[in-house]
A and B are shown apart, each in its own frame.
Chain A
Amino acid sequence: MRLSCPICGERDRREFHYGGAALERPAPEAGAAAWDAYLHLRENPAGRSRELWYHESGCTAWLVVERDTVTHEIHGVTLAAGGR
């Protein structure tokens, strides 16, 4: 598997570290149910997933990767920090 880092270009999987599902963080006052889901409940999709990957051996940017868990096809890679 190879990922195209927006900063470094296409690199081998061994340079990256998996960082779990890419979730939207609830607002502080969102309530117990929303925070329980954010902390503990995960989808386990057979298909498209949004994941965080860390370009550990490269530029050290956190990336949001859209990946198909069945085919390992990569649909998109963006910087988790956006333009910052």
Chain B
Amino acid sequence: MAELIALSPAGAALPKRIGAVTLTEAPFAPMTGISPHAGEVAQVSAALEAAHGLALPGPGRMLSGAGIEVLWFGRNRWLLIGAAPGDGLAAHAALTDQSDAWVSVIVQGAAGVDVLARLVPVDLRPRAFAEGSVIRTELFHMPAAIARTGAEDLRVMCFRSMAGTLVHDLVTAAEAVAARG
């Protein structure tokens, strides 16, 4: 059988350190979109907790456990990262494998908010966007999801087909921020 070579969405374009900001591609992890059937959010949350130890977070929030994250991902939608969906979820929700659908870039450093301020129309400073916050928004006209995973860590997700554009936009913005000194 042919040996297939796994390629990450951003490939050799990352990692990069620009000024005080580091851009790194998040390691590959299984991802599953979870859309509860009408009126079955509570059942899905219970099934998720039984299988993975995490309930469904409220709008704009994420929860993380041992190697697993659950992100609110839009109206009546969530994203499970880091594990295949456990038993019991499929009975109450539509599940879609999105493992290869996204490019995820970790923007690290206190100046990360200044970089994203040039690309995103939402205030991402810690006092407005605390740890564990998630938004769906747009990044330079591209659909995006952004999560604050640490005090100085932001996870930026765009569609995989736009990985090259995302890296280009982040690098251009980071260079402009770094040039200001």
- Enumerate chain A interface residues (CB-CB to B < 8 A): 7-9, 11-12, 14-15, 57-61, 84
Contacts and interface: CB of A to CB of B under 8 A. Distances in A.
Interface stretch (B81-89, B101-109, B131-139, B171-179): B131-139
A64 B113 CA distance: 32
User: At the interface, is chain A mostly helix, strand, loop or mixed?
Assistant: loop
A58 B121 contact: no
Contacts of A61: 75
Contacts, number: 37
A14 B122 CA distance: 11
Interface of B: 38, 59-60, 74-75, 77, 121-122, 135-138, 143-144
Contact of B138 (A8, A9, A15): A15
Nearest to B121: A12
A57 B38 contact: no
A59 B121 contact: no
Contact of B122 (A7, A11, A59, A84): A11
A8 B121 contact: no
B138 A59 contact: no
Given A8-B59, A57-B143, A84-B38, A15 B137 contact: yes
Contacts of A60: 74-75, 77, 136
A8 B61 CA distance: 11
